A and B are shown apart, each in its own frame.
Chain A
Amino acid sequence: MACATRSTSRTADMTATLSVDRLRVSFSHRTGSIDAVDRVSLEIAPSECVGIVGESGSGKTQIFMAAMGLLPRNAQVSGSVRFAGNELLALDAPALNRVRGSKLTMIFQDPMTSLTPHLKIGTQLAEVMVAHLGVSWKDARSFAGRMLERVHVPEPQRRLNQYPHELSGGMRQRVMIAMSLLCEPSLVIADEPTTALDVTIQAQIIELLRAVRGEFGMALVLISHDLAVVAGLADRILVMYAGNVVENSIAAELFRHPRHPYTAELLKCMPSVSGPRLARLPTLAGQPPRPGELLEACPFAPRCSRAADRCRIERPQLSGSAASQVACHFPLTS
């Protein structure tokens, strides 16, 4: 499915909601240029939920910041990001503004900083529809109230007249989710949507995302450092390491038979509230390569117990079946 060669990805473009091809994101820096995303290709099918998992600095957020045109000025982007047939990287700001926030929306980790503090919730929600759909403020506000109800915000009419600081973190995240759904998006990108929330609230938001997905039928990208959060929702999971997608598998398959050694290590490292208590937790020795240190070798090779000479001189490419793709010269077999 995802990350096919150039020729097949062109045909897949017809159906994919989002199609990323050899995307490279680098940041210029005093001492040179740092690659955050290194020639990543992936595809999101309509109505599909894809989990993007990786540790901090693996580049999982930067792919979608590039797609949304939200990268800082010192970023250079090459490659292609096509959304509903349009090349997003080629759009100017006004054209991009017609897409993002309406058909392509994003939910961020911290709902306090992504809502405007001095505008009422109702105004912020209505503004989206006034700008994108050209409806009247009155209609937009009443629709906003109904949308809050659909994401189970209690007393929606009262919330419309409140400011973000008057709401709890979980409630603010519900408002963000409502905002992302106003214009019937075909893709919602949720970047660590529950990381800032308490565990009982996290469970509620995951349930809400599940319900909303069923109700609205949009594709959903769920970015998280926590495999367990992604596990409950994603059809397919992409594992990122040092700016690369190292594994792309059907979710159940990934948990049952991880094929990249990094995925397997990551699964082993997750402490669990069930199963036997361990005398020591499994760990992954070493550090990811520093950004900018990416060589033409497997980026995981220095930490990999399976690494051989070939891994240090040749970067493995993502390959395999639609159910499971892996970028490894010596993948684990089931």
Chain B
Amino acid sequence: MLNNTLLRVRDLRVAFGAHAVVRGVNFELSAGETVGLVGESGSGKSTLARAILRLLQPAQGSVEFLGLDLLKCAPEALRAQRRGLQIVFQDPLASLDPRMTVGETIAEPLKVFEPGLSAGARRQKVGDMLQRVGLSSEVSGRYPHEFSGGQCQRIGIARAMILSPKLLICDEIVSSLDVSIQGQIVNLLLDLQDAGMAVLFISHNLAVVRHLCHRVLVMYLGKLVEIAPCDALFASPVHPYTRALLAAVPHMPHAAVAAAPAAPGEPASSGEPAASGEVDTPGEVDTPGEVDAPGEVAALDLTASGCAFRDRCPYALPVCETSDPPLLEVAPGHWAACHRSHETLNGLFCAS
């Protein structure tokens, strides 16, 4: 596993003025692995992604990509590394140049990194890539406004993929899409995954993360509070923030997922089995799980000590006020930053 490491982020810190947005993040990502990064707005997910690509300059830390620290690279070396490290953004239309045809947009990275390529060979590659993302090669002469949101997102993915990067960073790429289109993009990523591509998938949509990712990182106010294999995270979340996030996801009533066996340890499952004859009153069909995190994400006081989640945490103890819990391995491959993680694991959790 270790010699397979593609990306190693160590103690990464980003601040905007006095405001720390990423506060010491550590994680690794292996070749071919899909890692989800979840958290609410303002948690620093996108800032972390941009810092990894050095689209903004981190204050501290290192980002090793294939063994080379991107943060210390000279500009030419950084540019060469970026070939293997591409990003797709949330708003598909805004991230495409409206005055360039789709073919020109997808070919542009090739012009930069493979200037020796003939125009014919380039056209061939662009056509192949369009087909790979589920579009016809004939659309290359069209402009972005002629496409739907889902199609534009495919074009953005094609542009990122044309250089065969080792790692694709996806920043909320399905968030603006309708549910019927969302599945198409997720399936495209699953195809890329099968082809050996590593993906850092940033999303607030936990259901999509669950179907796509091998491992999940949970971020709260600039820190990773839990890292776990995907199944373990959804079956037995340890950090109270992760538990609150999962409990807040509105559940579909059972008939919609008829005959699906419930995942073990499913948080606050709702309603009756679909087979029960009675019509439930709608209020009971789908009550989202108890909201475990009252209040909202606080503006962080840098001088404050202790756990950043303590004010919203129903399980906070006096120790949470004074000492910031470190990220510790609580089960193989499962890390959590909570003073009470062993109680959670042993089922001893109770509100203080």
B256 part of interface (Cβ distance < 8 Å): yes
B282 part of interface (Cβ distance < 8 Å): yes
B87 part of interface (Cβ distance < 8 Å): no
Enumerate chain A residues within 8 angstroms of B84, measured Cβ to Cβ.
none
Size of interface on A: residues with Cβ below 8 Å to B: 53
Given the known inter-chain contacts A200-B248, A251-B282, A271-B207, please indicate yes or no for A206 contacting B288, CB distance below 8 A: yes
Enumerate chain B residues within 8 angstroms of A281, measured Cβ to Cβ.
182-183, 186-187, 211
Pair A55/B279 contact, Cβ less than 8 Å: no
User: Considering the complex, which residues of chain A in the window 227-257 have a beta carbon less than 8 Å from any beta carbon of chain B?
Assistant: 227-229, 231-235, 250-253, 255-257
Pair A55/B180 contact, Cβ less than 8 Å: yes
The residue from B180, B187, B207, B255 contacting A280, defined by CB atoms under 8 A apart: B187
Given the known inter-chain contacts A200-B248, A228-B250, please indicate yes or no for A266 contacting B179, CB distance below 8 A: yes
Given the known inter-chain contacts A252-B282, A274-B260, A276-B260, please indicate yes or no for A265 contacting B210, CB distance below 8 A: no
The residue from B180, B207, B250, B296 contacting A265, defined by CB atoms under 8 A apart: B180
Given the known inter-chain contacts A228-B251, A252-B285, please indicate yes or no for A200 contacting B190, CB distance below 8 A: no
B261 part of interface (Cβ distance < 8 Å): yes
Q: Which of B22-30, B61-69, B262-270, B325-333 contacts A (4 or more CB under 8 A)?
A: B262-270
B71 part of interface (Cβ distance < 8 Å): no
A117 part of interface (Cβ distance < 8 Å): no
A277 part of interface (Cβ distance < 8 Å): yes
Min CB distance B190 to A, Å, is: 6
Cα-based distance from A244 to B248 in the complex (angstroms) = 32
Cα-based distance from A190 to B279 in the complex (angstroms) = 26
Cα-based distance from A210 to B183 in the complex (angstroms) = 30
A90 part of interface (Cβ distance < 8 Å): no
B148 part of interface (Cβ distance < 8 Å): yes
Mark interface residues in B182-222 (1 if CB within 8 Å of A CB, else 0).
Answer: 11101100100000000000001111101100000000000
The residue from B40, B246, B261 contacting A273, defined by CB atoms under 8 A apart: B246
A149 part of interface (Cβ distance < 8 Å): no
Enumerate chain B residues within 8 angstroms of A147, measured Cβ to Cβ.
none
CB-nearest residue of chain A to B191:
A280
Pair B279/A253 contact, Cβ less than 8 Å: yes
Pair A270/B178 contact, Cβ less than 8 Å: no
Cα-based distance from A199 to B205 in the complex (angstroms) = 9
Enumerate chain B residues within 8 angstroms of A251, measured Cβ to Cβ.
253, 282, 285
A56 part of interface (Cβ distance < 8 Å): yes
A135 part of interface (Cβ distance < 8 Å): no
A226 part of interface (Cβ distance < 8 Å): yes
B286 part of interface (Cβ distance < 8 Å): yes
Enumerate chain B residues within 8 angstroms of A228, measured Cβ to Cβ.
249-252, 286
The residue from B149, B245, B250 contacting A229, defined by CB atoms under 8 A apart: B250
Mark interface residues in B255-298 (1 if CB within 8 Å of A CB, else 0).
Answer: 11100111100100100001000011111011110010110110
Cα-based distance from A291 to B143 in the complex (angstroms) = 20
B335 part of interface (Cβ distance < 8 Å): no
The residue from A226, A255, A257, A271 contacting B183, defined by CB atoms under 8 A apart: A271
Cα-based distance from A265 to B252 in the complex (angstroms) = 14
B89 part of interface (Cβ distance < 8 Å): no
Enumerate chain A residues within 8 angstroms of B206, measured Cβ to Cβ.
199, 273
Pair A273/B283 contact, Cβ less than 8 Å: no
Cα-based distance from A138 to B204 in the complex (angstroms) = 43
Pair A274/B251 contact, Cβ less than 8 Å: yes
Mark interface residues in B172-183 (1 if CB within 8 Å of A CB, else 0).
Answer: 000000111111
Min CB distance B16 to A, Å, is: 18
Cα-based distance from A55 to B176 in the complex (angstroms) = 11
The residue from B180, B251, B280 contacting A252, defined by CB atoms under 8 A apart: B280
Question: Could you show 30 A-B contacts with beta carbons less than 8 Å apart?
Answer: A168-B297, A198-B40, A198-B297, A199-B40, A199-B206, A199-B248, A200-B245, A203-B247, A203-B288, A207-B288, A225-B178, A228-B252, A229-B250, A231-B250, A231-B251, A231-B252, A232-B286, A235-B282, A251-B282, A252-B255, A252-B282, A255-B253, A256-B274, A269-B179, A269-B180, A270-B207, A272-B252, A274-B262, A281-B183, A284-B183
- 8 A-B pairs with least C-beta separation: A275-B260, A256-B255, A284-B180, A281-B183, A271-B207, A283-B183, A198-B40, A228-B250
Q: 11 additional contacts, CB 8 Å, given A170-B296, A231-B285?
A: A198-B297, A203-B250, A206-B250, A226-B179, A226-B250, A231-B252, A265-B180, A271-B205, A273-B206, A274-B266, A279-B190
